Structures are given as C-alpha cells and as structure tokens.
Structure 1
Amino acid sequence: MKFLEYMSFYSSYLEELYASKPLLSSTPFQNQMNVLEADAFSGGHLFAPAMKQHGYDNTFAVVNCKQAQNAWARENKIPTELATRNQIICNQIDTIRPDVLHIADPVALDPRLLNECSWKPKLVMAWRAAPIPDDADWSNVDLMISTLGVCREKAMKLGARSVQKFSPAFPEFVAKKIANEIKQWDVVFAGQVGTLHRKRQQLIQHLIGMPEFQSKNRSLRLYLANWTSVTFDDAKSFIKPAVWGMEMFRTLKKGRIVVNNHIDMADNMASNMRIFETLGVGSFLLTEESDELAELFEPGVEVETYSCLSEMEDKIRYYLNHPEKREAIAKRGQVRCFRDHGLVARSQELDLLIKNYLS
C-alpha cells in the first residue's frame, strides 16, 4: 500500500533551517525531505518513514515548505510560477495515488481540498491535538486520531466519520545521535508560551522567582517560542531563543530536570510531545499530575509529577539534591519510552489501526 503523509512545520523553524543551508532549496525534493527527517522536527508525528518496515510505499511532504514543494513541482513538470500551494498538493495526491493519506495538520491542509483532487484514497486520516476552528469541515476525514478527547469530540461534530485515541511517538534515532551530550543546566523548560498557555505562564513566573535561580546558585534555562506578548518579571537572564529539531533534543538532554506543562485545553490529560521527547533522550521529567499519565509512564518510577507549583518547587530541590534517584528514574523512563512509545512500537499500532479500518 502507498502511504502519503502531509506535515506542517513552524515557519520560523523552516526559515532558520534553510537560512543555515543556503544550497538546500536547489536540491531535489527527496533530498530536502531527508534533511528535514534527519533534523527530527515534529519527529514524533512523522510516521511515513517508519511505515516502510510494515510494507508501505511511503512518502511525506511539508505543505508550508515552499522550497521543497516547488522542487517537487519542477521535477514533475509543473510550472511553479503558475501553480498555487493547493494545486501542487492536488498534483502530488493525483500523481502518488496513495491508498492511505495522513494529514498531520488538518488546519494547515484543509481536507476540503480533496474535493479538487481526482484520486480518492481508500483511507483519509488526520491528527489534531490543538485548537480547531469552528468553521472547519472534516467530512472528507475517515478517521481522526488524537490524544485529546475534546479534539475527538469536535472532530465528530465537524463531520469526521470516526475517531480514535492515539498518541505521538519518540524517534529512536534521535537518542543515538545525542547520546554523548552532557548535563549543563539544572532546570530546563522549552516550549511555546502564548494566550493558550495561561498555566504555563504561571509556571514560568514561579520558576523565575525561586531563590536558587535568582541567586544563581542553580541554573535555569527557558527556551521560549512566541512569548513576546507575555510579560515576565526578572526574566531576561533566564530566557533564551526557541530551539527546534535536533537542537531542541540536545537542549532537553543537557537539562538535569526538564519541567513540563500542557496547553490549557488539555484538561488534565497527559498528551504533549515534551513527555516523549524528554524521556526519549534520557532526561528526568517533572510534569503535571494527570489522570492519564499512568497509562503511559509510571509516576514516581519512570517520571515524576507535581500537583501544584509549590510541590513542583519542592521536587526540583529534592531531585537536584538526589542525583542518583533522579537519574535512575530518567533511565527507567527512557527504557519504557523506547519499548512502548518509540516510532517502532507506535508505527505498529498505526499499521494495525489502518488494517482494521480497511478490513
């Protein structure tokens, strides 16, 4: 079977990557995809390469990567100066003729676009674990997968034919590439901070105010994206530019403790990528207490949790002062992550999901 996956990457990440590799845009489409895959941005959602081991003829593309999409158009004799982004996507679908089409961001790629394509896949899947526009039309989606119940419920209201709970994964090759990175900072947080992250703003402000960080007796690094609309007191010395791809994984690896906090809409569900990314690289994770976390990792054994900010503060101090216990938990978390939540294991789940749907 042919498996085609469409991704959507942050524009700021793509701009930085192509600026750092000025010749990349002139290379063939597949080479550009290989570079993006190797850098592992959103690697826990990129299933196409892993589906090859299950017998699929796999392809993936990034809908907002103009350089790569134009390269595909040139290679397929489509005049790029005349073709719109959506026309290139339709041409890809009609040319590749996938049996399974997986839209990893149905907001960036509106499934209504499929009405303009000649080829009709046997199965159209989509993933979403973030806000969904009220005017979305997902009647072309056969199967909507998400960690978040609120997203699955809304998907059905928007026309999706069926929904399934499904988690992202950790790309195992990342851990091997950064295995030699050493610990440099006591506490690390990396992620977005905006209007959808009120709890996260409170967490960051609390971290900044901890006496050991204020006095510089302990080190705190905050790698924040989209935070300029937020005001943090005394934050300047702690906030660093956002990190993406392999640099983000290296940053998590360098932290003795990585603190995690979910988007507000998660509603007490353990779902975000930082859980898998942190444990996958072998770092100690301190994340919010959640009803669902125990389904993924065992609290106190493979991951540590906090129920309030004061408890988070107490546990940061405890585990910085007890490195043996901290690293033992981190090691057990990595073993579990590889076993149950790596791309190898999760792609098997996805293969079974596809076959069950098509049977």
Structure 2
Amino acid sequence: MRVLILNTDYEAFLDDLYAENPGLAESSYDRQMAVRNASLFGAADFYSRGLRANGVEAADVHLNNKAMQLRWAAEHGLRIDPSDKPEPQGFSAKMRRLFGRGQNRTPQLMAMPGWTRDVMIAQIEDFRPDVILNQVMHFVSAESLRSLVGERCLLVGQIAAPWHEPEDDLGYDLIATSLPNYVQKFERRGIRTFYNQLGFAPSVLASLPEGERDLAVTFVGTLSSHHADRIRLLEFLAERTSLNIWGMGIEQVSKDSPIHGCYRGQAWGREMFEIFRRSQIVINQHIGIAGAYANNMRLYEATGCGAALLTDRKTNLRELFDVGSEVVDYGDPEECLAGIDALIGDPTRSAEIGNKGQMRTCRDHTYEQRTAELKAKFAEMLN
C-alpha cells in the first residue's frame, strides 16, 4: 500500500524555519524535509513514520513550502514558473486537458499559485499512491483531486477544524476525523466516516532536554475568534495566577487584555514540546467546534511530555484518560483556578498525575497505533 499525505504549514512557521536555518532553501529536497520534520511542528512526519512502521509506503508533501517544493521540481527535471500567478505560462497541455481553462471544474486547484498546483500534480504522478490522505481539505478540494486521479486511488479527507464547504464532502471515499460530533455530522449526510483520534510520538522525548519543571502554569495554543471561550478563560487566569502563554494570534486579543502581560511569544514544534517538558501544569481548552468532546492535540502532547494536564470537562474524556489520576478536568474558570491552586499546593500529586498521564499516552495514544487503525481501514476499502 502506498499513501501520499498532503499537508501545509503556517506561513509564520515557514518564515521562522528558514530564517533560523540560513542556506536551507538552497539545500536538497531531502535535507529540507529532514530539517522541517526535526522541527517537530504540527504533525511533523508522525503519520508517515507511523504508517511506515506498520508496513505502508508513505510520503509527505507540504504543498505551500515553496523552497522545498521547487527543489523537488528541480531535482525531478520539471520546469516550473515560481511566480504566484494562478496560471503560469508553462501550463501544460496535459494540465489543460485535466483542468480545462475557464470550465470552473476545479476552482480550488485553479486558484492555487501555479507552482503549487504543478508540483503537486507531478508528485502525485511520481508517487502513484493507492491512497491520498488530504489533511488540508480547505486548501485543495476533493473535486480537484478526483479530477486528477479519477478512481485509480482511494481519496481520504482528514479534518478536525472549522469547516464550511460541505458541498465538497461527497467527493471523498472516506473522511477521517478525531471529533465524534463530526463523525455524526458526516454520517447524517451519508458520507463514509472513520473516527481516528489524534496522538503522540514518544520518539519526541529522546530529542528534548531533561531538566526541572520550572514553569508552574503554561498554555501554548492559538488565540483567535474561534477561541472566544479560551480567551476568556486565559484572561481570568492571567489576573489570578502565574500563567505563561505562548501562541499565535496575539494581535487579535484586545490591547487592554491581561493576556499581554503573560504572553511570551510564539512557540513552534520543538520549542512547544520543551515548554511542556518544563511545565508543572498545562492548561487545555478546546475550540468551540469540539462541542462536548475532548479531541485536540494538546491532550496528548502535554501528557506525553509528563506535565499535569488541566483540561476542560468533556463527555468522552474518561474514555481517553482516568480523570483525577491521569489528568484533571474543570467545568468553568473558577474550577480551573481551584485546580491550579490545588496542584501547585501539592507538587507530589501534580508530579504523579504528570507521570501517570505520560504512561497512559505513551501506551494507548501513539501515532503508530493511530496509523495502524488507518491502515486497516484503507486496506478494508481497497479490498
């Protein structure tokens, strides 16, 4: 089985990655991929590495990483116009046939910068996957991919983020999601759906420095209009405890918010894991679309790094962790604050919760396990 994974990265992360690694943009494709994966940002290569550990040939494509994608093109003898025009002059006859000009059959693909589209098409043709796992359903549509590959491979979307394009859902053979409410939503519309939780890569721990847990209370995550409850919680805590906040979107937070006094900047990948490794307590608060369900990556990243996780109460949390001994939950900001005070006041219990949470995550919530589930589902559908 051959699985090609389509993904993108935050532009701010890419800017920092290449600024911190002078000359990387001129390096080979394999070198750029290695450095990007070593950053541990997002899902890194956790899915492809997990699939390979399960006997699947898998590869990642980071569609918006211009330096890396253009290097792949050069190494494979492709002549690509690096401009950001939607349709470059070198638009080939084959691509015109597939995505005919003016027909509006594939609006998302045609709206991409020409280099993004052209390199992605070449990579799909080169890898010839049995399965395309599209982890960026907002970036490239099922309609576009289906126009390219027809029925010759399984088309799988993966999503646990705000989603506003339901007309494209029916183009997928399968949608994988870690949100139980999304499973229900897709199934009500007759779409084949697979519940696949998020996870942790224990290999991360070997690359992190060990040291004291010198950060009492931390939060690392996004601050945006989709996270209004999170911002209210952090503002409440910021005025009452020694909170440290890292993340993206601080410009969307009111200038008079107490969050600014706790804000320490952005933290991508490895730096985030190092913060969790140094944290006594990590605060978690889900995005609104999660509804009543525990789901996000922070559940596993924080526990995987051995911090005591204090997370918002969800109906399925007890299916994932033993609440009270492996994680602690809260129902409102006042209860969250009480939980912080109790854990800070009892460092032995805090450390025990962190240790037990880590053992549970590294035993039951790994990407190798999650990708084994995906492999079994893909094989079932391919057969």
Amino acid at match of 1:200: R
Counterpart selection for 2:222 from 181, 186, 192: 192
> In the TM superposition, what are the counterparts of 1:163-174 in structure 2 within 5 Å?
163-174=193-204
Which of 179, 182, 189 is residue 148 of structure 1 equivalent to? 179
Contact 1:40-1:245 within 8 A present in 2 as well: yes
2:245 aligned partner: 222
SS in 1 for 2:168: coil
2:226, 2:287 within 8 Å by CA — same for their partners in 1?
Answer: yes
Unaligned runs of 5+ in 1: 214-218
Q: Distance in 1 between matches of 2:211 and 2:323?
A: 26
Q: Does residue 293 of the first structure (1) align with residue 309 of the second (2)?
A: no
Contact 1:287 1:306 in 2 (8 A): yes
Q: 2:343 touches 2:349 (CA, 8 Å); kept in 1?
A: yes
Q: Which one is further off, 258-267 or 142-151?
A: 142-151
- Please give the per-residue CA displacement for 1:103-154, whole angstroms capped at 9, x wherever unaligned: 1111122222214425754321111111112365133311101122443355
Give the SS at the match of 1:19: helix
Moved more, 181-190 or 120-129: 120-129
Deviation at 1:233, TM superposition (A): 3.0
Q: Does 1:42 align with 2:73?
A: no
1:307-345 deviations in whole A, cap 9, x for unaligned?
Answer: 111111111011001011111111111111011111222
2:42 matches 1:19: no
Between the aligned partners of 2:44 and 2:30, the Cα distance in structure 1 is: 20
Q: Map of 1:14-93 to 2, 5 A cutoff?
A: 14-43=14-43, 46-81=46-81, 82=90, 83-93=114-124
Q: Secondary structure at the residue paired with 1:236?
A: helix
For residues 294 and 76 of structure 1, the distance between their equivalents in structure 2, rounded to whole angstroms, comes to: 49
Return closer, same or farther for 1:285/1:44 CA change in 2, 3 Å cut-off.
farther
Q: Which residue of 2 aligns with 1:204?
A: 234
CA distance in 2, matches of 1:124, 1:149: 21
1:112 to 1:30, Cα distance in 2 relative to 1, 3 A = farther
CA deviation profile, 1:170-197 (whole Å, cap 9, x unmatched): 1111112115142121110111111111
Matches for 1:232-247 after TM superposition, within 5 Å: 232-247=256-271
CA shift for structure 1 position 85: 0.9
Q: Secondary structure at the match of 2:260?
A: coil
Matched to 1:11, the amino acid is E
C-alpha contact (below 8 Å) 2:36/2:44 kept by paired residues: no
Runs of 4+ in 1 over 6 A off after TM superposition: none
CA contact (8 A) 2:243 2:262 kept: yes
1:226 alignment partner AA: G
Q: Which residue of 1 aligns with 2:126?
A: 95
The two structures have a TM-score, normalised by structure 1, of 0.92
Q: Tell me whether 1:107 sits opposite 2:131 in the alignment.
A: no
Aligned sequence identity (%): 26
Structure 2: segments with no counterpart, 5+ residues: 82-89, 91-113
- In the aligned structure 1, how far is the partner of 2:368 from the partner of 2:326? 20
- Give a deviation string over 1:184-222, Cα, whole Å, max 9, x none: 211101111111111101111111111xx3xxxxx3211
Give 3-state SS (helix, strand or coil) of 1:319's partner: helix
Deviation at 1:262, TM superposition (A): 0.5
What is the alpha-carbon distance in structure 1 between the residues aligned to residue 340 and residue 193 of structure 2? 38
Q: Which amino acid aligns with 1:75?
A: E
Partner of 2:84: none
- Write the distance in 1 (CA, Å) between the matches of 2:348 and 2:378: 43
Task: Tell me which amino acid in the other structure corresponds to 1:184.
Answer: D
Q: Which moved more, 1:266-275 or 1:341-350?
A: 341-350
Give 1:280 deviation, angstroms.
Answer: 0.7
TM superposition shift of 1:31: 2.0
Hey, what does 1:216 align to over in structure 2? none
Q: Is the CA contact (8 Å cut-off) linking 2:73 and 2:80 kept in structure 1?
A: yes
Letter in 2 for 1:84: W
Separation in 1 of the partners of 2:167 and 2:211?
Answer: 43
Give the equivalent residue in structure 1 for 2:365: 341
Q: Map 1:258-297 onto structure 2 (within 5 A).
A: 258-297=282-321
Deviations 1:240-299 (A, max 9, x none): 111011011111111111000000111121001110100011111000011011111110
The alignment's TM-score, normalised by the length of structure 2, stands at: 0.87
1:129–1:148: 8 Å Cα contact kept in structure 2? yes
